[in-house]
């Protein structure tokens, strides 16, 4: 994850195969040189850096059981509101090892997390709420949203219990529409939303065999 507006600061995680079950993965921080710094985290996947204050970093743990926040560029992290029961919702639900977590580009305090259901935090991960039911019994492996608001979101799910799907919400995650159409039945590795038109999204997919 590159910090918008600062090409000399980024954070990376090495969680193994996207959507798979490989554990481990060190956090690495880039400060503009080839000497990457090892942060204090482990077994984390998706990350986000606040575009307003790049001291604030978020990272999702394996299976999305927790989201932790650093206020000092990865020097230390909070215990995480999900793991500590923040919002009263800590329940181990099925999810991909590298379950997706995104921050709203238009509001860095708003975060979304995807397992089989979608969760939302409106206060920088201090509390979370479940905002959807089970989408299709598959695990979410990709997620993206509009650059200009928090209403339009996309989630991709891997073909496990049923075929892979791409879902879209236009009301902030409360309701979801299947927009898969004729896309191949492959694992959605990444989604990208057009910054000028949230109705346009591109998907990168990989073979299911690559992460089984």
Q: What is the mean pLDDT of residues 59-83?
A: 77
**pLDDT above 80 for 11:** no
Nearest to 139 by CA among 111, 159, 168, 119: 159
- Please give the pLDDT value at position 23: 40
Q: What is the pTM of this model?
A: 0.78
Beta-strand pair 44-49/57-61? antiparallel
Tens digits of residue pLDDT in 183-209: 999 999 899 999 999 988 888 766 443
Tens digits of residue pLDDT in 171-188: 999 999 999 999 999 999
Q: Whole-angstrom Cα distance, residue 35 to residue 29? A: 9
Beta-strand pair 129-130/118-121? antiparallel
Q: Whole-angstrom Cα distance, residue 201 to residue 39? A: 33
Mean pLDDT value across the chain = 78
Task: Check if the beta carbon of residue 143 is closer than 8 Å to that of residue 167.
Answer: no
Tens digits of residue pLDDT in 100-117: 999 998 898 999 999 999
Q: What is the mean pLDDT of residues 115-134?
A: 90
- Please give the pLDDT value at position 68: 83
Q: Whole-angstrom Cα distance, residue 57 to residue 10? A: 10
- Please give the pLDDT value at position 158: 94
- The band of 31, judged by pLDDT with boundaries at 50, 70 and 90, is low
């Amino acid at each position: 994850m590159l910090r918008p507006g600062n090409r000399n600061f980024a954070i990376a995680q090495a969680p193994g195969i996207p959507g798979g079950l490989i554990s481990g993965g060190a956090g690495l921080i880039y400060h503009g040189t080839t000497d990457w710094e090892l942060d204090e985290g482990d077994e984390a996947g998706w990350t986000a850096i606040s575009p307003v204050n790049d001291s604030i970093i978020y990272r999702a743990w394996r299976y999305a059981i927790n989201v932790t926040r650093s206020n000092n560029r990865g020097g230390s992290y909070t215990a995480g509101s999900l793991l500590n029961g923040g919002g009263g919702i800590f329940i181990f639900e099925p999810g991909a090892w590298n379950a997706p977590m995104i921050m709203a580009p238009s509001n860095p305090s708003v975060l979304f997390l995807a397992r089989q259901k979608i969760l939302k935090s409106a206060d920088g991960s201090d509390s979370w709420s479940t905002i959807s039911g089970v989408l299709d019994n598959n695990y979410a492996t990709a997620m993206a949203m509009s650059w200009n608001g928090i209403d339009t979101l996309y989630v991709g799910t891997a073909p496990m219990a049923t075929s892979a799907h791409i879902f879209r919400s236009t009301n902030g995650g409360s309701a979801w529409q299947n927009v898969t159409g004729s896309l191949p039945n492959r694992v959605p590795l990444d989604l990208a939303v057009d910054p000028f038109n949230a109705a346009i999204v591109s998907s990168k997919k990989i073979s299911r065999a690559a992460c089984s």
